[in-house]
Amino acid sequence: MPFELTLPFTAIVGQEQMKRALMLNAVDPAIGGVLIRGDRGTAKSSAVRALARLLPDYDAVEGCPYHCDPAIPSRYCDECRRRASAPTLPSPASGGGNRLPIVRLPMRIIDLPINASEDRLVGSIDIEAAVRAGTRRFQPGVLAEANRNLLYVDEVNLLDDHLVDVLLDAAAMGVNVVEREGMSVVHPSHFILVGTMNPEEGELRPQLLDRFGLCVDVVTLTDIDERLRVMELERDFLQSPRTVHEASAEREARLRDLLQAASGRLTRVSVPEAIRTLIARLCLDGSVAGHRADLVVARAARAICALRGGPAVELPDVLEALELALAHRRREPLTDKQAQVQELASRAAEQLAQIQAATPSETAPSVRSEVTQQEGASGGESNEGWTTSESRESPTNEAIEPESDAVIQLRTFTVKKLDPSTKSETKRGRYVRSSQTERVTDVAFDATVRAAAPHQLSRRQAAPDSTNQLQLESQDLRQKVRERKTGNLIVFVGDAAASMDAEQRMLATKGAILSLLRHAYVRRDKVALVAFSGRNARVVLRPTSSVDLAERRLERLSIGGTTPLTHGLMTGLKLIKTERLRDPQVYPLLVLISDGRGNISLFGEEPLLEAQRMAGQIKQEGVRAMVIDSTRDFGSQPGYPRNRVTSLYGAYAFNVCGDLAERLGGRYYGLFDLSQSSIVDSVQREMLRTGSA
């Protein structure tokens, strides 16, 4: 990324918390990165890119593609390990040992675009070397570059699922394990993970969420003066980026020095025992999942303390760290942020007083030195991102594996897969990786070349006349695996007949459709609406993902007289069939909302019999369905029998809707025991149930 195209960090207006979180990571990369959530257009990406200029330099082994830290042999890549231990020619400078050549590198921001392919993320065989020289050489990927650097994922919530898996694996282990194309490589991959996202576009998987040390929510500035400054800054920057950079050069340099001084001080900042206990307690009280929070809070508090130049972590440091570290780890979101933060502060102060009272001797200065010593040890380890002179001298830093318990925690965590994306059989969609199949219809060229690469030398010897450098054979061919968000199609078949009498019923139905639509938007689902009343059924809303459009159509939806139930079901089915023609991979769900009292015949038969037959047909077509009964209220009638009623004219209590649900092969709900949000839940559940089957 070209240097001049990004704003200087210090020029960014407002958003102090975001800047603070980024700065803390520059002070101590072991904090584990930051996730920035917020509205579109609030300088999220700009701030991250601007941070590049403030990051420290580090020592690395010269010529190593992973920039291994010469001071931490336990984290060497294979090559560095070999170089270090091999009885190489004794060089006069190294004084007998195998000291590796050292080079000073700036810490960088490595971009992971969301459309990156897997081979670039993990690395793959070097095509050029393979084809030209016939050697099997590893071409390092983004994870290699990211080692000891900052890995930035913009729109991280849109990252492909399998890339997320790879990323999580690497982040958890600190290594990248590559087993592909006949290569087997393991290399270190410790990185600061920084992501930005707009929550409107969908949530992040909890596993990935927990990977980010800190999290900040940014909002649009509402202060007029600040907004003016933003506009002026943009104007100046567009006119001449150089001038803006020159104008803030001094401030940037000062901040950079400040950050570097703070990170140098880091190991000397002590975390008193009382504070540690407090952190553990607060995390426990704060309904936080996992142990990572404790670690992150402690580290962030220490970085905050180092930044202000204090000798030991104090309560305000902890409180600030807590806010940054817990935002995304609370099981329940804060309802009234300001009040709760204040309450937390006072509770923390109380607890600290208690702890200190309970162990008066611990806080005495005589004990402090011991604590400091401990801290020094773990402080060295936490400087994993780069080496300061202190940590290089500290031999203890290899023994500590701070992440291990957190890893276990993470592994036992299972997440239900909500993602609607499916492997696409057609040639549409994003090419995510390749596979070996019998009949290749969609050639993954890069993968094919990589597969053929190792055999080039021998094949060329076998066919010396060929003019092509690359000799392909049929077994090299690889198929592209494409992925496309197909999304679901939810077709509501709604009763607009007068028998839906009470207006509030119609309101409840409309509300349910709208709230579903809002969910559908995030999941890229489509929603359609068929209404039936009078003597026919109409498609009120063609399949759409537009909330606005649906809202307008729903407002206009009127209520008619009779209940042509069969018409409704048939129109719904027709609609689904048409959509299937357009896109064979669409995943339809028909939701019938009605009282089930069909009284208009379509084929000249008994209306209810017709409806039942239509329901059977829908099931035969393989369409999933569910029925929401607008007359039933299970809440007030506990234990209402759901059993199948065989006799049509049998009892007064014949449950038409229950019967239809049975014939449709779907679930059956009552409208009034479902609040709007639980209708959404049940529909979502329905999708998952059949989706996973």
* Chosen residue from 413, 445, 603, 640 binding other proteins by CB under 8 A: 445
**Region from 322-330, 468-476, 530-538, 557-565 binding other proteins, contact rule CB under 8 A:** 468-476
Is 29 or 429 the residue whose CB approaches other proteins more closely? Answer: 429
Question: Judged by CB under 8 A, which of 90, 113, 311, 635 binds other proteins?
Answer: 113
Q: Is 292 a catalytic residue?
A: yes
> Does 228 participate in binding other proteins (rule CB under 8 A)?
yes
Site string for other proteins, 22-51 (x = CB under 8 A): -----------------xxxxx-x------
Classify the C-alpha dihedral 96-98-101-104 as positive or negative: negative
Stretch that binds other proteins, among 215-223, 317-325, 393-401, 556-564 (CB under 8 A): 215-223
The answer to whether 400 and 377 have CB atoms below 8 angstroms apart is yes
The nearest distance, CB 116 to other proteins, in angstroms, is 4
Least separation in angstroms between residue 97's CB and other proteins is 35
- What are 477's two structure tokens? 């061919």
Q: Do 127 and 174 meet the contact criterion of CB atoms below 8 Å apart?
A: no
Longest alpha-carbon distance in the chain: 103
Identify the residue whose tokens are 């925690």: 409
Residue 282 near residue 319 (C-beta atoms within 8 A): no
For 163-178, letters b (16+ CB in 10 Å) and e give: bbebbbebbeebbbeb
Please report, as residue ranges, which positions from 131 to 150 form the binding site for other proteins (by CB under 8 A).
131-132, 139, 142
Q: Among 49, 276, 292, 632, which one carries the catalytic annotation?
A: 292
Query: DSSP letters along 337-388, please?
Result: HHHHHHHHHHHHHHHHHHHHHH-TTTTSHHHHHHHHHHHHHHHHHHTTTS--
417-436 positions binding other proteins, by CB under 8 A = 427-431
- Subset of residues 549 to 568 that bind other proteins, contact rule: CB under 8 A: 549, 551
Assess contact for 475 and 422: CB atoms under 8 A: no
Tell me whether residue 357 or residue 462 sits nearer to other proteins (CB atom): 462
**Contact call for residue 1 and other proteins (CB under 8 A):** yes
Please give the Cα distance from 570 to 615 (Å, whole number).
9
- Which is nearer to other proteins, 396 or 458 (by Cβ)? 458
Q: Which is nearer to other proteins, 291 or 430 (CB)?
A: 430
Q: Are strands 214-218 and 34-38 parallel, antiparallel or unpaired?
A: parallel
- HSE-up (13 A, CA, CB side) for residue 127: 13
Please report the DSSP string for 122-175 in residue order: HEEE-HHHHHHH----EEE-HHHHHTTSEEEEETGGGS-HHHHHHHHHHHHHSE
305 with 312: CB under 8 angstroms? yes
Q: Strands (DSSP E) along 545-652, which ranges? A: 587-594, 624-629
**Is the distance from CB of 501 to CB of 602 less than 8 angstroms?**
no
**Of residues 17 and 546, the one with the C-beta less far from other proteins:** 546
Residues 148-207 within binding reach of other proteins (CB under 8 A): 154-155, 158, 198, 200-201
5 binds other proteins (CB under 8 A): yes
Which position has the token pair 């649900």? 661
Interacting stretch for other proteins, rule CB under 8 A, among 286-294, 364-372, 542-550, 585-593?
Answer: 542-550
Residue choice 173, 175, 183, 221 for contact with other proteins (CB under 8 A): 221
Least Å from the CB of residue 115 to other proteins = 5
Closer by beta carbon to other proteins, 448 or else 533: 448
**Which is nearest to 135 in space by CA: 126, 144, 143?**
126
| Residue 474 lies near other proteins (rule: CB under 8 A) | no
479-485, strands of its sheet edge to edge: 421-424, 479-485, 430-435
**Which of 207, 359, 544, 690 is close enough to bind other proteins by CB under 8 A?**
544
Among 83, 180, 265, 450, binds other proteins (CB under 8 A): 450
> Is position 462 an interface residue for other proteins (rule: CB under 8 A)?
no
Tell which residue, 13, 14, 31, 15, has the closest CA to residue 307.
31
Site string for other proteins, 593-632 (x = CB under 8 A): ----------------------------------------
Residues 498-527 that bind other proteins (CB under 8 A): 521, 524, 526
470 binds other proteins (CB under 8 A): yes
Minimal distance in Å, beta carbon 327 to other proteins?
A: 19
115 touching other proteins, by CB under 8 A = yes
- Which of the stretches 70-78, 122-130, 353-361, 566-574 binds other proteins when contact is defined by CB under 8 A? 122-130
* Total residues binding other proteins (CB under 8 A): 76
231 binds other proteins (CB under 8 A): yes
**Per the structure block, which two tokens stand in for 293?**
């929070």
Site for other proteins contains 116 (CB under 8 A): yes
Exactly one of 103, 230, 258, 345 binds other proteins (CB under 8 A); that residue is 230
Q: How far is CA 565 from CA 256, 449, 495, 500, 532, in A?
A: 71, 58, 8, 12, 7
Query: Would you name the residues annotated as active-site residues?
Result: 292
